[in-house]
Amino acid sequence: MSEKVCYDVSMPEYPDIRNYADAIAERVSSHSLRELTISHPFLLRTVTPPASGFKDRKLERVCHIGKRIVLQFEEEYFIVLHLMVAGRLHWKEGAPALPDASRRAAGSGGALARIHFDNGTISLTEAGSKRRAALYLVSGLPELARLDPGGVDVFSTEVDTFHGILVSENHTLKRALTDPRLVSGIGNAYSDEILFAARMPPLRLTHTLAPSESSRLLDAARTTLSWWEAHLRQERGGNFPRKVSAFHPLMRVHGKYNQQCSICNTPIQRIRYAENECNYCPVCQNAGRVYADRALSRLLKGEWPKTVEELERLP
């Protein structure tokens, strides 16, 4: 009996994406792609090059652009995967028995796509009825660059650059950290953890930040993401990631609504708006103040896109 796969509504973010990329590289680097099968047409967002053009190409590198996983093949051919909220990847060891044409057309096993290598298969599934995950087939570095929303990598940017980006538009800190045009790879869960580590209120406006405060936020982002990347790697051991979730027992505020803060024992509070959720400690982050619903409705109007999909696909 196959193991049941569990999902929750949570988009894989920087530590999860790095974990996936490492696990893929460990298994199929330098291996040849035998066939790429796409069972659901909505998944494919590009028309050139064709899937057949990847046949027999060796995988040279696995990396990521923000929350997009990039598989680089010979001669600058790329498969780019954006899992969105409910997309997940799975690995099956062993040379695949390739499906015939009728099974490729109908799809099999609930997978939206399968990337068959000579030593195993990566499959992409998506829970629920909404189809948000995306697969791009790209040829050439200039075309790959078009898929980059433009946000900075917190590990490679300088403090002055980071501060300039934050104050370039007047958003809440929560929104700024999760906007892929401003900051790369951070979403709902880890923005909560970063803001808690920085002891900063999630709804503070970026225009009010001093350079020293941006530096503190950048340090918190680097420390938080590095710790979680290492923890997830240790947790999976040498296995392929099996349950990718934004809800972990060790998180300090995300998913901890009404539980006691690990620092001051104050109940963690929660803000819900559209498809977004923000968790924070009133004492550690907001001088003991709890955000009022009526004030929130005015503050947040127009601040976030109405759906996660809209946020991820901002122009």
- Which among 112, 145, 178 is the end of a domain? 145
Residues 24/63, Cβ–Cβ less than 8 Å: no
First to last CA, the chain: 44
Look at the block and give the residue holding tokens 């609930």.
110
Alpha carbons 73 and 59: distance in angstroms, whole number: 4
Asked whether residue 136 falls in the same domain as residue 24, the answer is yes
Look at the block and give the residue holding tokens 């963690």.
268
Spatial strand order of the sheet with 59-65 comes to 59-65, 68-73, 77-82, 134-139
Q: State the residue range of the domain holding 203.
A: 159-312
Asked whether residue 203 falls in the same domain as residue 132, the answer is no
Asked whether residue 124 falls in the same domain as residue 21, the answer is yes
Q: What is the DSSP letter of 54?
A: G
Asked whether residue 49 falls in the same domain as residue 185, the answer is no
Asked whether residue 57 falls in the same domain as residue 104, the answer is yes
Asked whether residue 87 falls in the same domain as residue 227, the answer is no
Which tokens go with 222?
Answer: 């680097």
> Helix, strand, or coil here: 190?
helix
Asked whether residue 132 falls in the same domain as residue 165, the answer is no
Q: What is the pLDDT of residue 290?
A: 87
The model's pLDDT over 62-80, given as tens digits with 9 standing for 90+, comes to: 999 999 999 999 999 999 9
Asked whether residue 106 falls in the same domain as residue 130, the answer is yes
- Which among 123, 145, 167 is the end of a domain? 145
> Helix, strand, or coil here: 160?
helix
Q: In a structure prediction context, what are the per-residue pLDDT tens digits for the chain, which is 315 residues long?
A: 233 333 345 789 999 999 999 999 999 999 999 999 999 888 999 989 999 999 999 999 999 999 999 999 999 999 999 999 889 999 999 877 766 544 444 444 589 999 999 999 999 999 877 788 999 999 999 999 999 999 999 999 999 999 999 999 999 999 999 999 999 999 999 999 999 999 999 999 999 999 999 999 999 999 999 999 999 999 999 999 988 888 899 999 999 999 999 999 999 998 887 667 899 999 999 999 888 654 454 555 555 454 445 545 554
Asked whether residue 87 falls in the same domain as residue 133, the answer is yes
**What type of residue sits at position 2?**
S
Which runs of consecutive H residues, i.e. helices, occur in 153-292?
A: 159-168, 173-178, 188-198, 211-236, 282-286
- Structural domains counted in the chain: 2
Look at residue 259 and tell me if it is in a domain.
Answer: yes
Q: What is the pTM of this model?
A: 0.87
Residues 31/44, Cβ–Cβ less than 8 Å: no
Look at residue 63 and tell me if it is in a domain.
Answer: yes
Asked whether residue 103 falls in the same domain as residue 220, the answer is no
Alpha carbons 27 and 121: distance in angstroms, whole number: 10
Measuring CA to CA, which residue among 247, 299, 297, 258 is closest to residue 281? 258
Asked whether residue 163 falls in the same domain as residue 308, the answer is yes
